[in-house]
């Protein structure tokens, strides 16, 4: 399988090249030159396989430079870091299921791909004969940072530098990142929001001066955000795997269509679902769920993408995003792979803060979109607990709320999977408040109370984080982020 850029469909790259580079030189995103196909026999074969074997089988279709056995060994290492089944699908009502993607080391779905990416990155470099260090730059709205730090910590030949909005992540997300140990890691707060961090990092990737300066220190940049193909590809596997699970337990017939509802920010998770659909997975609807930062919901309903709007800090901070990077990959496909159009609309976005897209193409797609405000999100946490005995984190609750609205509006009875993206213990203060109506500001007290209230075990790794030392305290202005990268690269005091 070869890869092309969304802004130039002429040049072909291999999968290892796409993974090591992270983003194309023209600023576009790597996409597969075509979609491999799967059929009902493929699904049947998956039923017998372990989750790592399923991942390897799906990835092998996209990365033939890696053997199946090689991919399997990476997946086994990656998913051995999970507590039990990496991707359990739980039935909560007739024809309504929850896929829990947060049983990994950092308790959010980012682990599904970020435990795998370091293996793919190291192997890709080997295949390409690259021995310079890979400096992985990450912009995070809270969860990617920690998952990237855990994935890459002490991995030879790699370093990670995370930029996060100092006042835009939850308390627990901050503690998880700030206490991270590892020789090859740096965590830097910025004065700004996630979009500022993401823009700064994207600009660094195409900054020739920075590239040359880093090269002189024996380094090249890459990305662990979902703009990186190696981050996106493993996410396709859980859509296919959850479908196989529903077939295996007799909830659906092989070939029946299902819906997925996905709490969405940077559009990486749901895009992987779209790719699974393009491969032939029987999907009826992909439902985009936004929080109060409802730029995507408006876009899908009106065809106009506009970031000229207020930015809200919500209880679902990993979705507090206005510029959804991976939307570009979807629009590339919906427009019939029109690289010139991508250049044009993303230039419009940069210059005017908005662009329009053919609404008929959006309406003709399998996407639906809705959003939930803060009160609706809390109500969803309360109601799903009350009615279905599940405790949702605020991101998952946004999806739950949007699904409720959707099913009332449409009376669609298609079996549906709500994609659950974080453990409620990553956001104990807000979840507890939604359940009890009382706000306990102390995160650790809130965790204990939430344990009593929900009957769900609090993970020790999160509870005992208060005994860990805060290692990373640096905060910079967004315009100094690039200098921080150089300082990190030139710092000879690290081990
Ligand atoms: C990152 C994240 C999301 C949003 O996923 P995207 O791929 O950015 O759309 C939703 N929920 C949680 C908990 C996350 O960490």
Question: Could you report the per-residue pLDDT of 81-126, keeping only the tens digit for each?
Answer: 999 999 999 999 999 999 999 999 999 999 999 999 999 999 999 9
491 pLDDT tier (thresholds 50, 70, 90): confident
Integer Cα distance of 264 and 270 in angstroms: 7
Which residues is 446 bridged to in the sheet?
Answer: none
CB 166 within 8 A of CB 228: no
Q: Is the pLDDT of residue 296 over 60?
A: yes
Report the number of distinct structural domains present in the chain.
1
In a domain, 182, yes or no: yes
At residue 235, the 3 state secondary structure works out as helix
End-to-end CA distance of the chain: 39
Q: Cα(250) to centroid of ligand 1, in Å?
A: 30
User: How do residues 60-87 score in pLDDT, each as one tens digit?
Assistant: 999 999 999 999 999 999 999 999 999 9
Which of 225, 226, 265, 372 to mutate to test ligand 1, by most ligand atoms within 8 A of the CB atom?
Answer: 265
Q: What angle do CA 325, 328, 334 make, to 5 degrees?
A: 150
In a domain, 125, yes or no: yes
In a domain, 41, yes or no: no
Integer Cα distance of 152 and 164 in angstroms: 17
Domain, as residue range, for 482: 117-227+469-494
Cα 220 to Cα 137, 296, 479, 487: the distances in Å are: 10, 33, 21, 15
In a domain, 148, yes or no: yes
**In terms of DSSP H, where are the helices of 156-314?**
171-178, 194-205, 208-216, 229-248, 268-279, 295-302
pLDDT, mean of residues 175-194: 95
CB 344 within 8 A of CB 7: no
Q: What angle do CA 239, 241, 242 make, to 5 degrees?
A: 70
Specify the pLDDT at position 27. 87
Cα 395 to Cα 209, 260, 322, 377, 385: the distances in Å are: 39, 15, 16, 8, 15
Which of 111, 263, 424 to mutate to test ligand 1, by most ligand atoms within 8 A of the CB atom?
Answer: 263
In a domain, 49, yes or no: no
In a domain, 149, yes or no: yes
In a domain, 37, yes or no: no
Q: What angle do CA 89, 92, 96 make, to 5 degrees?
A: 80
Give nearest CA residue, ligand 1 atom 1: 318
Which residues is 31 bridged to in the sheet?
Answer: 4
Tell me, yes or no, if the pTM score tops 0.85: yes
pLDDT, mean of residues 248-261: 98
Instruction: Specify the ligand 1 atom closest to the Cα of 266.
Output: 8
* Six token digits for residue 437: 């109506």
CATH number at residue 206: 3.40.50.1100
CB 5 within 8 A of CB 28: yes
How many CB atoms are closer than 10 A to CB 386? 9
Integer Cα distance of 229 and 18 in angstroms: 7
Average pLDDT of the chain is 96
Which of 101, 105, 109 to mutate to test ligand 1, by most ligand atoms within 8 A of the CB atom?
Answer: 109
Pocket of ligand 1 (CB under 6 A): 108-110, 143, 226, 263-269, 318-319, 395, 421-422
In a domain, 112, yes or no: no
User: How do residues 263-280 score in pLDDT, each as one tens digit?
Assistant: 999 999 999 999 999 999
């Amino acid at each position: 399988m070869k890869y092309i850029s969304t802004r130039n469909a002429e040049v072909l790259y291999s999968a290892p090249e796409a993974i090591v580079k992270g983003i194309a030189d023209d600023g576009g995103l790597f996409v597969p030159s075509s979609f491999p196909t799967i059929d009902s026999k493929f699904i049947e074969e998956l039923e017998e396989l372990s989750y790592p074997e399923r991942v390897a089988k799906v990835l092998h279709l996209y990365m033939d430079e890696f053997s199946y056995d090689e991919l399997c060994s990476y997946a086994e290492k990656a998913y051995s870091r999970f507590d039990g089944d990496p991707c359990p699908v739980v039935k909560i009502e007739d024809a309504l299921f929850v896929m829990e993607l947060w049983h990994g080391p950092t308790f959010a779905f980012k682990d599904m791909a970020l435990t795998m990416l370091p293996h793919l990155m190291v192997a890709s470099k080997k295949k390409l004969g690259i021995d310079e260090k890979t400096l992985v730059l990450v912009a995070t709205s809270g969860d990617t940072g920690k998952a990237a730090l855990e994935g890459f910590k002490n991995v030879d030949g790699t370093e990670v530098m995370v930029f996060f909005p100092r006042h835009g992540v939850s308390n627990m997300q901050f503690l998880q990142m700030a206490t991270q140990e590892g020789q090859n890691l740096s965590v830097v707060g910025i004065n700004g929001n996630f979009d500022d961090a993401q823009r700064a990092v994207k600009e660094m990737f195409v900054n020739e001066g920075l590239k040359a300066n880093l090269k002189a220190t024996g380094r090249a940049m890459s990305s662990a955000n979902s703009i990186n193909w190696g981050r996106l590809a493993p996410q396709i596997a859980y859509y296919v795997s959850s479908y196989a699970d529903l077939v295996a337990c007799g909830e659906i017939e092989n070939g029946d269509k299902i819906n997925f509802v996905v709490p969405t920010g940077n559009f990486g998770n749901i895009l992987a679902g779209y790719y699974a659909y393009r491969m032939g997975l029987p999907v009826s609807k992909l439902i985009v769920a936004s929080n109060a930062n409802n730029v995507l919901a408006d876009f899908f309903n009106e065809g106009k993408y506009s970031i000229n709007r207020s930015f809200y800090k919500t209880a679902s901070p990993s979705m507090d995003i206005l510029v959804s990077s991976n939307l570009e990959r979807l629009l590339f496909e919906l427009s019939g792979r029109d690289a010139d159009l991508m250049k044009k609309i993303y230039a419009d976005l940069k210059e005017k803060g908005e662009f329009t897209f053919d609404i008929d193409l959006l309406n003709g797609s399998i996407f639906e979109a809705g959003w939930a405000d803060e009160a609706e999100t809390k109500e969803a946490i309360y109601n799903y607990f009350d009615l279905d005995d599940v405790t949702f984190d605020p991101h998952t609750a946004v999806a739950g709320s949007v699904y409720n609205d959707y099913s009332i509006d449409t009376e669609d009875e298609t079996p549906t999977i709500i994609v659950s993206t974080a453990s409620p213990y990553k956001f104990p203060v807000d979840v507890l408040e939604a359940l009890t109506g009382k706000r306990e500001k102390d995160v650790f007290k809130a965790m204990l109370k939430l344990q009593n209230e929900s009957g769900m075990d609090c993970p020790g790794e999160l509870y005992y984080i208060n005994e860990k030392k805060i290692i990373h305290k640096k905060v910079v202005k967004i315009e100094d982020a690039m200098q921080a990268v150089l300082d990190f690269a030139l710092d000879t005091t690290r081990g």
